Chains A and B, each alone.
Chain A
Amino acid sequence: MGPNLWINYGEAVAAILFCIGFTNLLLQTNLIKKIIGLNIMDSAIYLFLAEKGYIAGRTAPIVTDGVTNVEAYINPIPSGLVLTGIVVSVSVSALMLSLTIRLYIRYHSLDLDEIAAQLKKEGR
């Protein structure tokens, strides 16, 4: 376990970051902090993918100097996945932010518990 962890330190860092983001998204009551947690979580996964896709000593899979040898490039699929993931993550963050704005306009608070309390007071 120990040496494995050391060799794969990139993945280990990604996993730790994922946990940090996950806990933030789950436990923070402030909506903005939740969204930050969400982004940390997503970035951790992209780090993981990028780390997995990288092969030491090779370059990004863009043909510039006419080198077509496969050995020269890293695996492009994880990079592609990261790009797709970023698109998804951006749209989700945007949606969350817009929801947050709506709640803030209505209840003048970013605290989810406080908003819930106000809703209960409204009684609808």
Chain B
Amino acid sequence: MYPILLPILFPILAGLCLLVYRKDLERKLLTGITGSCLVITGALVISVLALAKKSLILFYLTETLPIYFQIDEISVIFSVLTVVVFVCAGFFAFAYMKHEQKEKRYYGFYLIAFGVLNGLCFAGNLITFYLFFELLTLSSFPLVLHTGTREAIMAGLKYLFYSLCGAYASLYGIYFLYRHCDTLTFTAGGILQASPASPDGRFLLLVAFLMILGFGVKAGMFPMHAWLPTAHPAAPAPASAALSAVIVKAGVLALIRVIYYIFGADFLRGSWVQTAWLTLALVTVFMGSMLAYREPVLKKRLAYSTVSQLSYILFGLAVMDQDAFMGGLLHVLAHGFIKGTLFLIAGAIIFTTGKTRVDELHGIGKEMPLTMWCYTIVSLGLIGIPPTGGFVSKWYLAIGGLAGDIGIFRYIGPAVLLISALLTAGYLLPLTIRGFFPGADYDYNALQKREPARLMTIPILFMTILSVLIGLFPNIITDYLTKFVSSLL
């Protein structure tokens, strides 16, 4: 049969069954089923990555456009990230969603989104990719508006329309590309024949820019970043963890696929598109950090931080240099684990204390020491202090930026990254400081230990450890990727 389809279809079907099943399940049974589905899917993904045949043509949509799946190194990176975050955030949700309505619907769409993401990672041509990209938007937006308040629904709609507009912008890119290419299959190094100087090439550069803008919406790139800070606080915490750690990465994956597998880096290197892209990415990095710095609500602050950090990755992609690209990929993993953890922690804090603003959280470190220790560790990681994951990725990004053939950006880029790292420290660490050192007027008598349930702490701990491990042993990943990256660039 088609083993490559299993990790895509199984969770989608399981999710659909959950949604269609008429009666309400008992909570224990529901979480049991969802949990086992998550684990089985995880196992399926891993075994497919390890064992199965690497490509499959399912059927032909039109004569030259098949639905086609293919697994390469990029798929491996993204699907491992997906599995880890989705399983962790899923188990976290079993504790967090206890008091929410309509849990069944949440789990149903969660499983569907999981399957769709796997499909996105395995997609082997642009049409298949686009199909799953659209489905991802549609299956993740019920997660955003889950609470059903007016605010959440408006946030969900905002998310939907930003994503759809972006997807359509990219779809037009696909239409044009379809005219210029024989196939739209992802091929390392690109499939375009035209040179950038020819009239067709000049037009294709415009198309490339359109697609960068379009897919950039999902990755929260300026000027279409506004949906992120609205959607994240409205969604339940595990959903925002999944959203921030994985789903926005779909935009990054899309850009990797389009730029490096369809256009080819050589086509864009040195063109105005690269300059514009670099500018947008750096503007986003700086602006995201600034906005996060000024934001008092914890989850919103983290959302702005996501905006900023994602553009680190986009900067790495836009430099089109081996080291920078490697840094971008590492940062995909590092930021995925770290931001996932941060959102889970924010969820845990909201769940136990009910407080959402940073300045209300005096002494939180005394109340929830384990959680806050994890918070501190991953925060240091995001700032980029060794030995955590963020350090290695930012190191590569900076090296790549300095070495890349990008003119004045060679200096501006690393400088902006550095300033933004300082700002990151500025917006993440106050919580640690206030949490552990509440000051003289803190009432120690009223202190009570209220560490959250184990279902919450274990996923947090697990992902914290992973983020540190990436920083300690980056060689495993870089060795795995080196040959492949050099084939791309």
A–B touch (CB < 8 A): the answer is: no
